[in-house]
């Protein structure tokens, strides 16, 4: 797949109004080629409406946008998009290979190339040995894998996934992360709509958090989550001792903790040694960034919805 340099999704001030309700109130964001992009928000934030507009299933009330360089709703652009909705059903009497054949017809996949494509897609999602099995014999997790295989059929330039791990056990979720990374390595951009913030944190290159129809934060996880912090729980340090610790960078005191901002990991042992030299007893040293869940709560002001069980 040849990777373009223009955004695969590029929307500015995108709006959608249903009667008196603003489902989208000026959404602006861009998704770059070859990245896994997490799209997060509480129920009613406008995520589903956004996907409908991107896929041409609804028309915007205002703003502008492109999908794979073409105006939203362009038919040929949509042929280059793989899509897995959150709620989907395959006819139980169809075999896995037949499900792929049906969707190959819809995207116009060349007949001479289909056998290899089917094998590749089923192999990627771990269903190579079930190509001839009826969907009705599949567990919910296996059907989710098949849906993911359909979305990846034909090596699309953009894959839009809505809760792709919601029906999977922990092992299945690990497998899906590997599948998404493989698709990215092949050149696809992944637009991932998920309530499982821990999954997003582990797999996404960049994220957008949307609330009330607008993007309230967008960027790399490091940019969205803020600075790296090193927290040292210890005895109280006198003012002179605190002044001597200024060499380790920005510092604030929170109760019994000293909080250092953007302290490089190799300098942590030096910090501990400096505190010991000051005669300070240390109880714990913890480094890390704010969790995505905590940042989500700060931005939207209410908890993330529970993931489907």
- Whose CA is closest to 294, among 229, 224, 231, 215? 224
Phi-psi region of 110 (alpha: psi -120 to 50; beta: other; left: phi over 0): beta
Domains of the chain, each with CATH number or no CATH: 9-224 (3.40.50.300), 227-288 (3.30.70)
Strand, helix or coil for residue 71? strand
Residue-level pLDDT at 302: 57
Angle of helix 170-185 relative to helix 140-151, nearest 10 degrees, comes to 10
Tell me if residue 292 falls in helix, strand or coil: helix
Q: How far is it, in rounded angstroms, from Cα 75 to Cα 67?
A: 10
pLDDT attached to residue 68: 95
Per-residue pLDDT of the chain (309 residues; tens, 9 = 90+): 555 678 999 999 999 999 888 889 999 999 999 999 999 888 788 888 999 999 999 999 999 999 999 999 898 898 899 999 887 889 999 999 999 999 999 888 888 888 899 999 999 999 999 999 999 999 888 898 999 999 999 889 999 998 777 667 788 788 888 888 989 998 899 999 877 777 788 889 999 988 888 888 888 877 787 667 889 999 999 999 999 998 998 898 988 899 888 888 888 999 999 999 999 999 999 877 666 777 777 777 755 444 433
Q: What are phi and psi of 207, to 5 degrees?
A: -140, 155
Cα distances from 28 to residues 24, 67, 195, 212, in angstroms, run 10, 13, 21, 13
Predicted pLDDT of residue 305: 46
DSSP state of 92: T
Q: Where are the alpha helices (DSSP H) in the chain?
A: 47-54, 75-78, 96-107, 114-124, 140-151, 170-185, 197-203, 221-225, 239-244, 268-277, 292-300
Which whole-number Å values give the CA distances from 104 to 107, 133, 256, 273, in the listed order? Answer: 5, 18, 62, 63
Give the Cα separation of 211 and 81 in Å (integer): 25
């Amino acid at each position: 797949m040849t990777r373009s340099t223009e955004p695969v999704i590029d929307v500015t001030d995108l709006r959608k109004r249903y009667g008196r309700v603003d489902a989208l109130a000026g959404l602006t964001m861009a998704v770059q080629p070859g990245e896994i992009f997490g799209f997060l928000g509480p129920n009613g934030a406008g995520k589903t409406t956004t996907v409908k507009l991107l896929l041409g299933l609804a028309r915007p009330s205002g703003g502008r946008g492109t999908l794979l360089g073409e105006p939203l709703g362009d038919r040929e652009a949509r042929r280059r998009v793989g899509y897995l909705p959150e709620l989907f059903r395959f006819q139980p009497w169809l075999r896995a290979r037949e499900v792929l054949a049906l969707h190959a017809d819809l995207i116009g996949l060349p007949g001479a190339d289909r056998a290899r494509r089917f094998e590749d897609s089923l192999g990627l999602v771990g269903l190579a040995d079930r190509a001839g099995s009826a969907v009705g014999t599949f567990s919910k997790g296996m059907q989710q894998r098949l849906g993911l295989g359909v979305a990846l059929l034909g090596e699309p330039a953009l894959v839009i996934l809505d809760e792709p791990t919601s029906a999977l056990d922990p092992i299945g979720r690990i497998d899906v992360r590997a599948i998404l990374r493989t698709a990215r390595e092949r050149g696809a951009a992944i637009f991932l709509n998920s309530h499982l913030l821990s999954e997003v944190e582990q797999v996404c290159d960049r994220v957008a958090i949307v609330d009330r129809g607008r993007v309230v934060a967008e960027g790399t996880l490091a940019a969205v989550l803020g600075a790296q912090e090193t927290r040292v729980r210890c005895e109280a340090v006198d003012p002179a001792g605190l002044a001597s610790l200024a060499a380790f960078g920005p510092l604030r005191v929170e109760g019994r903790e000293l909080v250092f901002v953007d302290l490089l990991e190799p300098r942590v042992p030096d910090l501990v040694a400096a505190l010991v030299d000051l005669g300070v007893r240390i109880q714990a040293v913890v480094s890390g960034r704010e969790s995505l869940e905590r940042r989500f709560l700060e931005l939207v002001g209410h908890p993330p919805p529970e993931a489907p069980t």
